[in-house]
Amino acid sequence: MRQRALNKLEDEGLANFLPADIEKFRTNDKYVGRFWLHVFDQPGSQLEEAAGVVVKALAWRKKVGLDALGEAGVRRDLLDRGVFYSHGRDKEGCKLMVLHLKNYTKGNDFEDWKKVLVYWFERLEREEGGKLISWVFDCKGAGLKNMDLDIINYITECMENYYPWILNLIYIFEMPWLMNAGFK
């Protein structure tokens, strides 16, 4: 699977990917295994599917500019607002990533919020060494002004396409009945 993905990366042109990502894929067996686990139960050829996921994920990482994204690359006021943060672990020992929905307001800052989210994904990747994380959607005190399906969809897209085999569980805390339809 590793060789097939590396061949696809070369076919696409190695300049379209971050060198650190290619090196990590070449040398880190656990990282390669996460891509395999991510597509293991999908129909069709898992080898081809996994190689395709690798190409898609690594191309996205270059496009987003993850090599330059750090705490200085995201808006400090958004980080300090406390919409996304990591706190504690669940019973299975997985780090908890919290979306505190009450502190989020839908607006024109969506691209900046995406950077904050990716910053947290990258930070947890480094801190946890590729282990699974669990999400807590803390909806206590949130209302319709806080409901933004775009941010929920982006979280899902990141875990589905760009951070393979990262999700353990999702906990939803005190979701108001008005938001049930949105989350379904």
- Nearest residue to 34 via CA among 171, 154, 162, 170: 162
Beta partners for residue 96, in sequence order:
134
pLDDT at 177: 66
Q: What is the DSSP string of 91-106?
A: TTSPEEEEEEGGG---
Q: Are residues 32 and 57 in the same domain?
A: yes
pLDDT at 86: 95
Q: Are residues 172 and 136 in the same domain?
A: yes
Domain that holds residue 42: 2-64
Q: What is the pLDDT of residues 10-67, one digit of tens each?
A: 999 999 999 999 999 999 999 999 999 988 888 878 889 999 999 999 999 999 988 8
Q: How many domains are there within the chain?
A: 2
Q: Output the average pLDDT for the chain.
A: 89
Q: What is the DSSP string of 22-34?
A: HHHHHH-HHHHHH
**Most confident by average pLDDT, 110-114, 140-144, 145-149:** 110-114
Flag whether 154 is in a domain.
yes
The CATH number of whichever domain residue 137 belongs to comes to 3.40.525.10
Q: Are residues 171 and 140 in the same domain?
A: yes
